[in-house]
C-alpha cells in the first residue's frame, strides 16, 4: 500500500505523544544515582533526588572515619609491626633445630654454692634462621631416653643473650643454667636437662626449639623505666635487657637508645653466687644516671630485723623510691627466678603500698592489665 506525503506527515504527528511517553519511560529506567546504580523504575524524580541525598550522606559518613583513622593514631600503627615481628615457635618439638655448642663455662666464683654455667650455641646453620628477642625462651631436648625408653621432654630456659648474640654477629644464643639437685629418700637427684647442659662439651649437637614467650619483652619506649627483681638464674632475661641498654658495642649496633632509668635488685646466697656481677657494676659506674644495682646477699647481709637479707627486704628498704617510679606510667616491673620469691615480693609490695595508702591487691592487676607487671617464675 502506498501513502501520500500528507498522510505520512499526519501519521508522524499522531505518533509524537507515543514517542514522548516512551522517552520518559526510558529516562526513568536509565536514571542513575550518584552511586552509579540504576534507579528503580517505580522511583519518581523526587524519590530519586532523595536517594541521591541519602547516598551522598552515606558516602561522606563512610569516608570521614577513614580520614580520621589515617591521621590520628599514627603511634599505634607503628607499634603493631614490632609486635608482629616477634618470632614464635620457628622450631617445634617434632622438628627441632640442631645447634652446636660453641662454649660452656662456669659463672661462679670461688666459695659459691651449686653449679651454674653460661652455654652458647651456634645458630648459623639454622634455616629458617632461629631469631629471637630479649625476654624470650628456647626449649632444649636432652639427648637420651627416660626410664620408660621414651625421648626426654624438652625444658624451657630463659635466653641470656641479646638478639645479636654475645659476639654481636646475630648467629648465637646463650643460656644461663643452674644444675638442679634435690634430695629424695636420702639420695641426691640431678636434674636431667640441667645436668646434660652443664656437662656438655663444645662441638656437641643439641636439639633446640622455639623461641617462645611474649610476657617478658622490653617496651619499645626508649624513655621507659625498668625495675628488675631477680634471683639465681632468673638474671638471664635481665642480662639481655641490660646489655641492650648499656653494653657499648650493643648500643652502637642498636637503633634503640635507652634514656630511662633501670634498677636491678639481685638476690643471691653469697657474693660469689652473683651472676654477671662485674658487668653490672661496670654499667652502674658508666651510666650512674640511668642504672642502679642493688644486691641482696642472704648469707652475708642482715635485714632491719637482724635476719637474713632477701630481695624482698631490699624492696622494703627502697619502697618509697620504687612506688614513686611505679606512679610513672612509663615504668615496667620484671620479676624472674624461683616461684618461692613471689610471696615475699608480694608481701613487701603490700606493706610498701599500704604505707602510701594504696591497696596492692588492687594495684597489681591494674599494672598487669596495663602490661607493666611482668612475671616469669619456675
Catalytic residues: 157-158, 336, 376, 378
Q: In angstroms, rounded to a whole number, what is the distance separating the alpha carbons of residues 363 and 108?
A: 38
Three cell numbers, residue 64:
570521614
Cα gap 105→116, rounded to integer Å:
9
Buried b (16+ CB within 10 A) or exposed e, 333-369: bbbbbeeebeebbeebbbebbeeeebebeebbeebee
| 265-to-186, 232, 311, 317 alpha-carbon distances in Å | 35, 11, 7, 12
What phi-psi label fits residue 12: left (phi over 0), alpha (psi between -120 and 50 degrees) or beta? alpha
What CA–CA distance (Å, rounded) separates 331 from 333? Answer: 7
Helix orientation angle between 235-246 and 277-286, rounded to the nearest 10 degrees? 30
In terms of phi and psi (left: phi > 0; alpha: psi -120 to 50; beta: otherwise), the region of 256 is beta
Q: Are strands 172-178 and 116-122 parallel, antiparallel or unpaired?
A: antiparallel
**Looking at the chain, how many residues does it have?**
378
Taking the C-alpha atoms of residue 96 and residue 14, their distance in angstroms, rounded to an integer, is: 91
Q: Please report which helix (H) or strand (E) contains residue 199, including its range.
A: helix 192-199
Backbone angles phi, psi at 205, to 5 degrees: -95, 140
Amino acid at each position: 500500500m502506498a501513502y501520500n506525503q500528507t498522510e505520512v506527515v499526519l501519521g508522524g504527528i499522531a505518533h509524537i505523544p507515543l514517542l514522548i511517553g516512551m522517552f520518559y519511560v526510558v529516562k526513568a529506567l536509565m536514571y542513575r544515582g550518584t552511586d552509579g546504580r540504576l534507579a528503580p523504575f517505580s522511583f519518581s524524580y523526587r524519590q530519586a533526588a532523595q536517594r541521591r541525598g541519602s547516598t551522598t550522606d552515606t558516602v561522606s559518613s563512610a569516608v570521614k572515619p577513614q580520614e580520621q583513622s589515617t591521621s590520628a593514631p599514627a603511634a599505634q600503627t607503628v607499634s603493631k609491626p614490632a609486635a608482629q615481628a616477634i618470632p614464635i615457635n620457628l622450631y617445634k618439638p617434632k622438628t627441632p633445630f640442631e645447634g652446636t655448642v660453641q662454649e660452656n663455662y662456669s659463672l661462679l666464683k670461688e666459695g659459691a654454692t651449686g653449679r651454674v654455667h653460661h652455654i652458647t650455641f651456634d645458630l648459623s646453620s639454622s634455616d629458617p634462621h632461629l631469631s629471637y628477642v630479649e625476654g624470650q625462651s628456647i626449649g632444649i631436648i636432652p639427648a637420651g631416653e627416660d626410664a620408660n625408653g621414651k625421648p626426654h621432654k624438652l625444658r624451657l630456659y630463659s635466653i641470656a643473650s641479646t638478639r645479636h648474640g654475645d659476639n654481636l654477629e646475630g648467629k648465637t644464643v646463650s643460656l644461663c643454667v643452674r644444675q638442679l639437685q634435690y634430695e629424695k629418700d636420702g639420695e641426691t637427684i640431678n636434674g636431667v636437662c640441667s645436668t646434660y647442659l652443664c656437662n656438655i662439651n663444645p662441638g656437641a649437637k643439641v636439639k633446640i626449639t622455639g623461641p617462645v614467650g611474649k610476657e617478658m619483652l622490653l617496651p619499645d619506649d626508649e624513655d621507659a623505666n625498668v625495675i628488675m627483681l631477680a634471683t639465681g638464674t632468673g638474671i638471664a632475661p635481665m642480662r639481655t635487657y641490660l646489655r641492650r641498654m648499656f653494653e657499648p658495642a650493643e648500643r652502637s649496633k642498636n637503633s634503640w637508645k635507652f634514656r630511662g632509668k633501670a634498677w636491678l635488685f639481685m638476690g643471691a646466697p653469697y657474693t660469689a653466687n652473683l651472676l654477671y656481677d662485674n658487668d653490672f657494676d661496670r654499667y652502674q659506674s658508666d651510666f650512674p644516671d640511668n642504672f642502679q644495682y642493688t644486691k641482696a646477699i642472704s648469707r652475708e647481709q642482715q635485714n632491719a630485723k637482724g635476719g637474713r637479707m632477701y630481695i624482698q627486704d631490699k624492696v622494703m628498704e627502697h619502697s618509697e623510691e620504687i612506688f614513686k617510679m611505679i606512679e610513672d606510667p612509663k615504668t615496667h616491673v620484671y620479676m624472674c627466678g624461683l616461684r618461692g620469691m613471689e610471696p615475699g615480693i608480694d608481701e613487701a609490695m603490700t606493706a610498701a603500698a599500704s604505707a602510701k595508702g594504696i591497696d596492692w591487691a588492687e594495684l597489681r592487676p591494674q599494672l598487669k592489665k596495663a602490661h607493666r607487671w611482668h612475671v616469669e617464675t619456675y
